[in-house]
Structure formats: structure tokens, C-alpha cells
Structure 1
């Protein structure tokens, strides 16, 4: 993500003010790894970064706007205020949710994601990766973009898990930093890569040791993982998540390797966590 000049930022917020948005003293928010985000008064403003294609997480402003509009009033997403374009870059504005990134109670997250997955999706969302064959192909595509991929490629999981036939709305990136805890409930932000697909995808991303490290500072314990899977409303999806774990760990290890080779120092630690998790269960996938 390229830094913005002070002149661009001043012009951008002057433009937002000119179209009627109240954006006093904008302050950059940390945590996002894909876009420029500020808080200004009661609003959050996201300016979508250009370029930098990501092999795992899409960055689609149209999808995010469609989701926030479609799910408005559910309390599960922040209220959409306005969208637009400035000097060729898309932006989106939503009402600030006074919460904190999720830290504890995995059962709460599991029940919340179950409700999200039951929501009707807006039209036009792409199909997600579904089943072990598709996960394998996606992982191999990521590894093609890595320089030192041979050792990880040799850890390819064995067996086959068929696609989930009951495709549902999935967030695509429900990591702790995108789950805001407030008033005894949760709100899910950063909807730039929603899909129609296998809910196990969301469960695996939340459980990912790498994503927990990046956004919460440490992986979940085995007890926290078990509580999460037991609390998810559909035991079939929880079972799929366990069955697909080798492929999910393999893919996330490939993604962390891809990021690490591009200068992400902490991504090496995340890579090691995912590789170790894969190696701990791989013998059972034969």
C-alpha cells in the first residue's frame, strides 16, 4: 500500500467536506493492511488503495458498498453513509462503531458468524473457493508467486473433501481485527471480499494461527478452538472445518510465505505457525 501525500489527503478531505460530509480532524486508524482508513468525528472513511493484487483477499469497493447497503439495520455491519470516487480512487464512508477489536469468548464469535451465514446475500457476489480440490488449486496458484515454494508444495494434503452444496454468504476475512466488540454484541467490518460459498472458509480464517497472531498477538488455544467449533450453530459446517483443516493451513502457510517474501517480517512467524499446524495433522490426512 503506497503512502499518501499530505497534499492529496488535504484535497481529499476538502472534497468530502464540499459534498456535505462532516469530517473534523481526520485521524488515521491502524490495523488495516489493504486500504487507507481514517476516523473523523462520527464517521469512518476508507480510501481503497490501488494496485497490489492479493492472491487470497480481494479488495472490492463495490462489493463492500453492496453488503453494507443490503445488511443495513441488522447491527451486524456498520451503517453505510456514502460512497464515491476522488481522483480516480474509490472511497466509502460509514458510521463509526464505538467498539474494540475482538479479544475473548470464541463461542460468541461462532454464534455470530452462524447468524451472518444465514443472511440473504445481495446479488452479484462471486463464488468462493469450495472443497479441497479448489483449495488445492488456489494454494498452488499462490505458490507459483513465491520464490521458495518447493518445501511447502511437498506438504500438499492428501485425500478429497467435496464442495459444500448449500452455498451461503461468507465474509471472507473475519479475523479479530474485523470483529468489533461493543455493548455485548459484535459488528463485522471490512467487507471488501464477501462471497457466496462454504461457511467453513470463515471459520477457518478466524481460527487461523497466523491471523490470530497478526491481529490479537497469539494463536488460540486448543480449548478456545474446541469451544468455537462446538458453539457454531451448524455442526455439519464445524465438521467440514475440521476435515478441511490440512488444506486451510496449507493455503494460509502459502499466503504467509507470499507476504513474507515481500518484506513482511512478522509474516515469517505467521508462516511458521501455519506450517507447524499443517505438519501436526498432515499424517492423519492420508
Structure 2
């Protein structure tokens, strides 16, 4: 595994004078594997009472030349919210470690539980989406030509990898083709969003394991900022609520009552803005497009998982990918677009 192969080099790296000086570490540093995503490895660093997360980036879903620096800048920008990890260190030279490295705050706690943490998560979203920045501060962030067009364009790019794969299932490809055609028809609806644009820093990947909830302190942090953009907050909220997100790690589907609890709590804590009055309609408008985004990512990832050489792989992720590409599941998404 890549995590094991890199471990000895990372241990040498964090014991180096430059690294320890940058973080003000006076004692030795222990390193242990913490977790991995699809394009990142996370290690836990401990020096005395100090604990940090060292994040190793292995690829970019956004086709960025410097993915780790993008994430670092986003964390720095969002630091005043108090609900994202603080970033302390960046090394994007790839000299000592052949990947970009970021060191950020370690946050103790547990992944979000949809049964008990919806209101807490809503407050976290409201805090992030309530932050306004100048044009210069968000200049580095990706911006889409339109809120629905951006998702559609990403899906087209992702699905192209599946459609061109010789091992793709023709039935699945046909259903995915119908979904993308339906999205092409419906993306014109974004004109209603553009009449009253609402732009904030959004995360775009808000599954339950990207949150850390600490019951002892009552805090809830959104921790993974690999793919932030400057876009419509309703995209994040819709993504958080839909079944492809809630089923991903917890096999849970929110009831209408739970959705309403989340939205009403969010509105309660969101600073005043004119878009609040149409928030529910905006969230509903994004749902089909977020379903499209989920299954198109799965289709792309499937083509990577079936070939050798993928730097990181997670068996549970591959099982979920295959489940989301089942014809019955895709037909259910098509019915949502009626």
C-alpha cells in the first residue's frame, strides 16, 4: 500500500530541522496512519501534547497543477469561520516526498451521524456560507459559468471516461446517456438562479465522513477541502441531503422531516441575505444535478478501479460505486427528473 511505502520517508521528513522549526516542534515526532480518501493520505503527527494531520495529495479531481496548494489556500481563507481546520504548513516542491504535503489542525471527534447531528451540521454550513470575501480573496478559486452548467460540464467530462472504456456495461452506458441528456434539457433552469446570484465558498463534497463532530465541545468542523469552488451554497445543501450522499458511508436516507429540520436550522443561523426566501426551491433545483454528479463520478472512478496502478483504492468505496451504477439505481435517478 502507498501509505506504508511512504511512511519511512515521512518519518524522516518530519524529524528534519526545517519541518520541526516551521511548526515549532521541540520534541520528537511520532507518525501514524490516520485515514485515506480517493486522492489523499492522512497521517497523525504527535509531538508531546501537539497533534497535527499531515495530508499527502496523490492526484487532482479538478485537473489542477498544484492541488495541495489550492486546498491550503482555501483553508487559510476559511480559517475565520472557526469550523474548518487551520492550515499550518505547505510543501508543494515534491523534492523530499514525491507528493504535495499539507499540515493542518487535528480535530478530535467522530464522523457526523445523520440521526443526531443534522442541526449541528446546519449551523456549520451557515457559518461557512455566511462569510463574504472580496473579489481578490477568492480570485484563486474555481468559478463555474453557471451553477447547473458547471455540474453538467463536470459530468460530461467524467462520463466520457466511462463511455470510452471498452469494458463499460452498455446498459449502464445507455442509462447514463439518458441522465446526461435530461440534465442538458434542465440546465436552462439555472436562469432563475442567475436572476438573483448567490456566490460563496462552497465545499462540493459534503458526505458524513468529511465532518468531525465533537460531542464534548459541541463543535462540528467540515474538514476536507479538496474541491472547493466559488459557487451557489444551495449546491452544498442539496448535496448534503440527497440519498447518494447519505447512503455513501452510513446507508441512511433522510426523511422529509429531517430535511426540513436541517433547512430551517440553517436559515435560523444564516446571516440575512435575499436568497434565503427562495432557499428551498434552490435546494430542490440542485438535487437532480447532484445525483448526476454522484453517478458520473462513480462511472469515472469505476474505470480507474478496474485497472491496476491506481495509487489509492478503498474496497468499500468500490462496492458503493458498483451499487450506484446498478441499472435499477440509475433508473430511479431518471424518475427523479420527471
| Band the TM-score falls in, shorter-chain normalisation | 0.7 to 0.9
CA contact (8 A) 2:69 2:90 kept: no
**Which residue matches 2:232?**
198
Question: Structure 2: which 5+ runs fail to align?
Answer: 268-275, 306-317
Equivalent of residue 232 in structure 1, options 266, 276, 279: 266
CA distance in 2, matches of 1:198, 1:81: 28
| Structure 2 counterparts to residues 193-272 of structure 1, below 5 A | 193-233=227-267, 234-263=276-305, 264-272=318-326
Distance 1:63 1:154 in 2: 34
Please identify the structure whose Cα radius of gyration is greater.
2
| Alignment partners' CA distance in 2, 1:271 and 1:139 | 14
Deviation for aligned residue 1:132: 3.1
Contact kept in structure 1, 2:11 and 2:31, CA below 8 Å: no
Cα 1:231/1:27, change in 2 over 3 Å: same
Query: Per the alignment, do residues 118 and 23 of structure 1 end up closer, same or farther by CA in structure 2, a change over 3 Å counting?
Result: farther
Q: Which residue of 1 aligns with 2:315?
A: none
Q: Is residue 112 of structure 1 aligned with residue 128 of structure 2?
A: no
- In the alignment, structure 1 residue 92 sits paired with structure 2 residue 97: no
Following TM superposition, by how much is the alpha carbon of 1:246 offset from its aligned partner in structure 2, in angstroms? Answer: 1.8
* Alignment counterpart, residue 207 of structure 2, candidates 175, 185, 197: 175
Q: Which has the higher helix share?
A: 2
Check if 1:135 corresponds to 2:137. no
Q: How does 1:38-117 map to 2 (within 5 A)?
A: 38-41=43-46, 42-49=51-58, 51=59, 53-54=60-61, 60-85=67-92, 86-87=94-95, 88-103=98-113, 104-117=116-129
Q: Secondary structure at the match of 1:177?
A: helix
**Count of equivalent residues:** 281
Unaligned runs of 5+ residues in structure 1 are none
TM-score (structure 2 length as normaliser): 0.72
Aligned alpha-carbon RMSD (Å): 2.9
C-alpha separation in 2, matches of 1:71 and 1:135: 23
Q: Distance in 2 between matches of 1:69 and 1:242?
A: 31
CA distance in structure 2 between the partners assigned to 1:57 and 1:274 by the alignment? 32
Compute the displacement of 1:23 (Å).
6.2
